[in-house]
Structure 1
Amino acid sequence: MVAAAAYGVVARPRLLTWGATHAEATGDWPGDDLVPGYASGSTMATTLPGPPERVWPWLVQMGCNRGGWYSFDRLDNAGRPSADRIVARWQGLKEGQRLAAVPDGGVWFTAALVEPERTLVLRMSVELPSGHPFDARFGPLSGGYTDSVWGFHLRRTAENGTRLVVRTRGRSRPRWLTRPLDLVLWEPVHLIMQLRQFRNLRARVSGEPRVRDEATAAR
C-alpha cells in the first residue's frame, strides 16, 4: 500500500513529465482542445542537436509503411527498420492524412494539426473492444472507445537546437477497464517507447542528412 501510494504521488508524476520543464508540463500546447475532458496525459521533452527545419522532415515521414516510428521497430513496425534518411515522397504531409499505426493499415493516426517546423499533432480514435477506428467528429458507434492525441512541438533554442515537447491527451470508456490498463500498461510502455524515439531522433538529427528521391524510394 505504501509503495503504491509513493508511486502515485512521487514517481508517476515524474514519469509522465520526463525531461519536461515545469512550464512545458503545465503549459497549453496546440491540439490540447481536441480531446476535451481528457482523463490521461503526459508531457515529455528533449533537446535535439539541430534546428527545427532539420528535425521536421524526420517527423513528417513517420508511420508504418513510411519512415517508421524511430522506436522499437520489432514492437511498432513489424521489425522493419525505421528510416535512416529523409525520403522526399513522404514530406508532403497534410492535415487529414492517415498514417498507418500498424503495418496492415487497419488502425491509423490522422494528422490533426500540421504546422511545418513547429507543430505536428496525430490523433487516434478506436472503438473497444473491436479496435475499429472511428471518426472523432461523430463519436464511436459502441459504448467503449479510446480517443487520444500525440503531439510533437518544436521550438528553437538559443543555441539553434530544437526543444522537442511531446504532449499526449486521451479519454476512454469504460474507465473501470481502461484506467487500470493506463496505469499498469500504457503509461510505462509509452515512456519506454518515447525515450527510445528521442534517442533515435537525436542520432538521426546529429548525423549528415541524406535524402532519397522519388525513384530511389520506390525501389
Structure 2
Amino acid sequence: MKKIEARRLAMAGGAAAGITAYLAFARPRLLRAGATDDEVQGPYSGSGVIPDGIRSATMAVTIDAPRSRVWPWLVQMGTDRAGWYSWDRLDNFGRRSARTIHPEWQEIAVGDRLAAKPDGSQWWEIAALDHERFLGLRMSLDLRGRPFDPAGTRPRHFTDSLWGFELKDTADGRSRVVVSGYWSFRPKWLQPLLSVLLLEPSHWVMQTRQFSNLKRLAL
C-alpha cells in the first residue's frame, strides 16, 4: 500500500509540476506567438463588437507581400468557399483549402455569412470590415451549438466571439498580419478553464498553420 501511495503522490507531483511549467513558460509564449509588445498591449480593432468580451490571444506574422496580395486570400475564406488554409482535416471537414484566388468570392460586406460547417448550420458573420486593413468574423452560439441573433437577447448559456485579422504595412513593403479578437462566454466561471485547457492550445495549432500557408500563398 505504501508503494502505491508513493507512486500516486509522485504522479500527482509530476502532473502539478507539468501544469506549473506550462502556465509559467509555455502558455505566455502561446498567447502571443510572433507578436510584439505593442501588438499585444495596444488597442485592437473590433473592441466594441462583442459586449463584455475579453481580449483573446494575439498572434502575428510578417508576410513577404503587400497587404493587397494577402487580403484576397482572407476575404474568400469559408467552408463553402476557399476553406481556412489551416489543417483541413480538422477545420474544413477534409476539404482541401483553395490554392488560387477566386474572383467570384472577392466581394463581401458586413452581415455576410461564411459557412463554418458544410450544411450551413454554423457560420462566421462578417461583423467588421475595412478594406485591406481589418476583417472581423463573429460567431454566436448557444452551448448546444445553435446560432443565435447577437442583436437580440442572448441565451442563458452561450459563446460569442470575434476572430479578427488586422493588416499593416511594414517599412520594407511587406505586410504584418495580426490575429486577435474578443470572447464572451456564459457560464462565466467556466470561461477561463475552457480557455486554458481547450481554446488557447487549439487556436495556436490552427492559427500557426494558417500563417504558414498564407506566407506561401501570398507570394
> Aligned pair count?
204
Displacement of 1:11 after TM fit? 2.5
Displacement of 1:76 after TM fit? 1.1
Gapped runs of 5+ residues in structure 1? 207-219
Q: Which has the larger radius of gyration?
A: 2
Which residue type is aligned with residue 156 of structure 2? G
Displacement of 1:2 after TM fit? 4.2
- For the pair 1:134 / 2:148, whether they are aligned, the reply is yes
Residue correspondence of structure 1 range 109-128 to structure 2 within 5 A: 109-128=124-143
Residue correspondence of structure 1 range 11-26 to structure 2 within 5 A: 11-26=26-41
How has the CA–CA distance of structure 1 residues 40 and 159 changed in structure 2, closer, same or farther, with 3 Å as cutoff? closer
TM norm structure 1: 0.88
Residue 145 of structure 1: aligned partner: 158
- For the pair 1:5 / 2:20, whether they are aligned, the reply is yes
* C-alpha distance after superposition, 1:128-149 (max 9, x if no partner): 1x21111212232x31100100
- For the pair 1:49 / 2:64, whether they are aligned, the reply is yes
Gapped runs of 5+ residues in structure 2? 1-15
Displacement of 1:74 after TM fit? 0.8
- For the pair 1:157 / 2:170, whether they are aligned, the reply is yes
Residue correspondence of structure 1 range 170-209 to structure 2 within 5 A: 170-206=183-219
TM norm structure 2: 0.88
* C-alpha distance after superposition, 1:45-88 (max 9, x if no partner): 00011000010000000001101000011111111110100001
Q: Which runs of 4+ in 1 moved over 4 A?
A: none
CA distance in 2, matches of 1:185, 1:85: 32
How has the CA–CA distance of structure 1 residues 40 and 113 changed in structure 2, closer, same or farther, with 3 Å as cutoff? closer
Residue correspondence of structure 1 range 25-36 to structure 2 within 5 A: 25-36=40-51
Say whether the 8 Å CA contact 1:113–1:121 is kept in structure 2: yes
Aligned-pair Cα RMSD in Å: 1.4
